[in-house]
Amino acid sequence: SGSGEYTGFVPDMQRRVLMNLIVVAVCAVPALVVLGGYAFYSSGATGDEVKELQSGAFWIDRRFGLGDKDNDRELVQGLKGDAYYLISTPDGIKDFAINATCTHLGCVVPWVRSANKFCCPCHGSQYDENGKVVRGPAPLSLALAHTSVLDSGDIAVSPWPEQDFRTGLDPWWS
Ligand code: FES
């Protein structure tokens, strides 16, 4: 009967709702983190502190960005005006940066430290700590760039044309 189908349907829906709630909870983006990230990005992006180098790389005034926290992610203006994450370690920064643009429809993806993931607030895509996609709808991992610390202590971000070390594939972004 109709009511039989209905009672079979409800627990299933409840499970699905519960699963969605769990996914949302694990990847919940603290509002302050998002606001902090955007505030940093806009202040970093509009000053003279980011300049284009002849090589097409960009440098970033170290004062503007990186705390010395281990395994933190700082949003900075990188190549072609895109936002990139630098990754801090106890010894400085990692030698790659992660493009913050979601490969689904282009939202800026916040880093969620508590989940150790990048979690897109727009449609729920998730990327691991190195920007490799682990949950759709995003079809591809976040793009990479090289980083290097200049003699001045500033940080240069430059193109990454080589193989993607996370997937072993040619880079889709170059
Ligand atoms: Fe990120 Fe759609 S833009 S999931």
pLDDT digits (tens, 9 = 90+) for 106-142: 999 999 988 999 999 999 999 999 999 999 999 999 9
Atom of ligand 1 nearest to the CA of 125: 4
**Spatial CA neighbour of 140 closest among 112, 113, 106, 111:** 106
Q: Which amino acid is at 60?
A: I
Structure tokens at 50: 């980011």
129 burial type by CB count under 10 A (0-12 exposed, 13-18 middle, 19+ buried): middle
Evaluate whether 142 touches 100 at the Cβ level (below 8 Å).
Answer: yes
Query: Which atom of ligand 1 lies at the shortest distance from residue 120's CA?
Result: 1
Q: Per-residue pLDDT tens for 47-103?
A: 334 455 444 455 554 544 455 566 778 787 777 778 889 887 777 788 899 999 999
pTM of the entire structure? 0.68
Nearest CA to ligand 1 atom 3: 105
Q: State whether ipTM is beyond 0.85.
A: yes
Please give the structure tokens belonging to residue 165.
């070390």
Cα–chain center distance at 123:
14
Atom nearest to 137 CA in ligand 1: 4
CB of 100 closer than 6 A to ligand 1?
Answer: no
Does residue 122 have its Cβ closer than 6 Å to ligand 1?
yes
Q: Is 136 in the pocket of ligand 1 (CB under 6 A)?
A: no
* 123 within ligand 1 shell (Cβ under 6 A): yes
